[in-house]
Amino acid sequence: MLIKKLTLIACAAVGMLASSFASAQTYLGASVGQSDNSNYCNYATTCDSKATSYKLFGGYNFNKNFAVESSYFSGGKTSINSGVPLGHSEQKKTGFSLAGVYNYEFNEAFAGFAKLGIARVKAETTYDTSGLPSYSASNTGNQALLGVGVSYKITPNVAVRAEFEKYNARTFSNSGTSGSNLSAGLQYNF
């Protein structure tokens, strides 16, 4: 009797495990958008805080609701002019992120998602000061990452995706500049 119960429990566990692996799915994608680094412009006379951004991402769906996603991103260049004596500077941001993702399917094709994670952001700044040689500085730090978005499946494997992400530089230290990114792209599900 005990062997029958153990066999039944083992079969049920294997069945649940198999269905879990059947719903697991990896994905890759790319997106292009616009980043906004307006808090870098605090002391500027003129500022161009918006830049073209891009992102390459990949993820793993544990089931239809939960996934983990990593990405490499570039936030483009932010340019400011502060007049004499501060001059002109440009800041370029790049980084990697890792986030947990919650997906909610509205129907078979349309879904929404939210993400929470951490980003390792490198900000490279070049200063061109009046009457002095130009110089560069680099700052790398961890930032909290929040995001929301929607996706629409064109085919069972290809989806169009739009999302808004916010990077908060003050989460783990008192240095760095925060930013946001609005993007659209394609996702391929394997």
Looking only at the bridges linking them, the beta strands covering 135-153 and 179-189 are unpaired
Q: Which domains are present in the chain?
A: 25-189 (2.40.160.20)
**Contact predicate 93/35, CB 8 Å:** yes
Say if CB 56 and CB 33 are below 8 A apart: no
pTM exceeds 0.85 for this model: no
C-alpha–C-alpha distance, residues 162 and 185, integer Å: 6
What residue type is assigned to position 34 of the chain? Q
Contact residues for 37 (Cβ-Cβ < 8 A; gap 6+): 49, 51, 75, 78, 91, 93, 177, 178, 179
pLDDT digits (tens, 9 = 90+) for 42-97: 666 677 778 899 999 999 999 999 999 999 999 888 777 776 566 777 888 899 99
pLDDT in tens, 129-158: 777 777 788 888 888 999 999 999 999 999
